Chains A and B, each alone.
Chain A
Amino acid sequence: MADPAAPTLLIACGALAREVLALIERNGWGDRLRLTCLPAELHNYPRKIPDAVRARIHRARADGFERIFLLYGDCGTGGLLDAVLAEEGVERIEGPHCYSFFSGNEAFAANADEDVTSFFLTDFLARHFDKLIWEGLKLHKHEELLPLYFGNYERIVYIAQEHSEELQRRAEEIAARLNLAYEFRPVGYGDLESTLAGTAAQ
């Protein structure tokens, strides 16, 4: 039986670190929730996510954490991440990916048809686009690959967590660089905040 006073360890994608810490601080959940992250670069290699998560769960248990909650969507693992979580007895935030739970899973699903050709930026992606996407896909050396990666997209949708004119300017610049239309959606933290509230209250 887990100690009811013991905090829950959140294991999160590194792309959520800043946002999760902001929510913990804003809501005073510091006594209830702890955070550890896996590298955001796993976004580009989803096949590596399930094993990386399993290893971090084992390490957390070795460190004495009895309550663990995962902040990852399925993130392109095709159900393999959920299989690992079922084996380990750990739950995760609902949703296929962070674009969905930041937007609110229901709202995201309702917009699915309209958003087929949308490429989403979160605050993290707007901030780290050059490193994670532009360089990660080798576009800094081979811009000729641009149409192969982005040729089917029609617009950049910046789903913003915080209000930041600097990030809005960056997102617009990214859209212009990719020659895509631009849309700004200030969605906030969506289901992430309500999920963390539930976890902190346990």
Chain B
Amino acid sequence: MSDTPPEDIDLNSLNDEELVQQMHDDLYDGLKEEIEEAVHILLKRGWMPYRVLTEALVEGMRIVGIDFRDGILFVPEVLLAANAMKGGMVILRPLLAETGAPRLGKMVIGTVKGDIHDIGKNLVGMMMEGAGFDVIDIGINNPVEDYLAALEEHEPDILGMSALLTTTMPYMKVVIETMKEKGIRENYIVLVGGAPLNEEFAEAIGADAYCRDAAVAVETAKELIARKHNQMASA
């Protein structure tokens, strides 16, 4: 992200390809108003909302995600980019519902009991929504009862749990063990994430996968949903 002020560009003067490229740059620089303006321009030009979402916003955030993973961008820059994407999503969300954009599945996501950190969880939720998942965010500091109630009410394909603290991440095992006791563990794909977690931890507590960032969460969710559908088809 550059600290120098961006050039004043007339977004209307750009052709579609240039505008989408500019949106990727503006997302990278966290320019919310520019993103909102560009979304309106593409919609006026007849783009379907789903195409604006995937080609401009999700692709732009994918680039941000890669540079975050590579240590080029850090949390503040990602938050600014996410804030800009959120501005676009607010415009697109009602239109996506109207135009019947493809849905890949449903996810319940929440931060575990004792933990109020939600930056990572919110990024995952936004990127999952952008990828075509219905996301039910149950917030922070969730005891196992809240997770179970949300699973029963919303019947999702995926349960996502997040923790930032070394002291709270073991609670994920409490949730998974309770799901096993109730005989419902196998009904869901369980994804876990958070800064202090790793693959070994996810395996040890019986999650289906550890997702190190929002982009990995989306790819993992797509892969495991497809695998589940294949298993159901062959059963």
Is A79 an interface residue when CB atoms closer than 8 A count as contact? Answer: yes
- Chain B interface residue number, banded: 20 to 34
Chain A binding surface, main DSSP class: loop
CB of B107 within 8 Å of the partner chain: no
- Please state if A78 and B75 are interface contacts (CB–CB under 8 Å): no
Mark each residue of chain A from 46 to 90: 1 if its CB lies under 8 Å from any CB of chain B, else 0. Answer: 110000000000000000000000000010111110000000000
Report whether B116 and A96 are in contact in the complex, using a CB–CB cutoff of 8 Å: no
| B114 within 8 A of partner (CB) | yes
Bound Cα distance A46, B77 (Å)? 18
B-side binding surface: helix, strand, loop or mixed? loop
Give the complex CA separation of A44 and B116 in angstroms. 17
Interface string of B77-90 (1 = CB under 8 A from A): 10110010000000
Q: Are B79 and A96 in contact (CB under 8 A)?
A: no
In the assembled complex, B141 has its CB within 8 A of some CB on chain A: yes
Residues 160-203 of B contacting A (Cβ, < 8 Å): 164-167, 169, 195-198, 201
A116-B141, A137-B75 are contacts. A96–B166 as well, Cβ < 8 Å?
yes
Contact A76 B196 (CB under 8 A): yes
A194 interface residue per 8 A CB criterion: no
State whether A149 touches B166 (Cβ < 8 A). Answer: no
A185 in the interface, Cβ–Cβ < 8 Å?
no
Would B76 and A152 count as touching, CB distance under 8 A?
no
Nearest Cβ in chain B — how far from A120, in angstroms? 12
Check A148 against B79 for contact (C-beta < 8 Å). yes
Separation in Å of the A186 CB from the closest CB of chain B? 24
CB-defined contacts of B75 to chain A, threshold 8 Å: 137
A116 x B116 contact (CB < 8 A)? yes
**When the two chains form their complex, are residues B140 and A152 in contact, meaning their CB atoms are under 8 A apart?**
yes
B119 beta carbon closer than 8 Å to chain A = yes
Q: Does A161 make an interface contact (CB < 8 A)? A: no
Give Cα A78–Cα B194 distance, bound, in whole angstroms. Answer: 10
Where the two chains meet, the residues of B that have a C-beta atom closer than 8 Å to any C-beta of A are 30, 74-77, 79-80, 83, 114-119, 122, 140-141, 164-167, 169, 195-198, 201
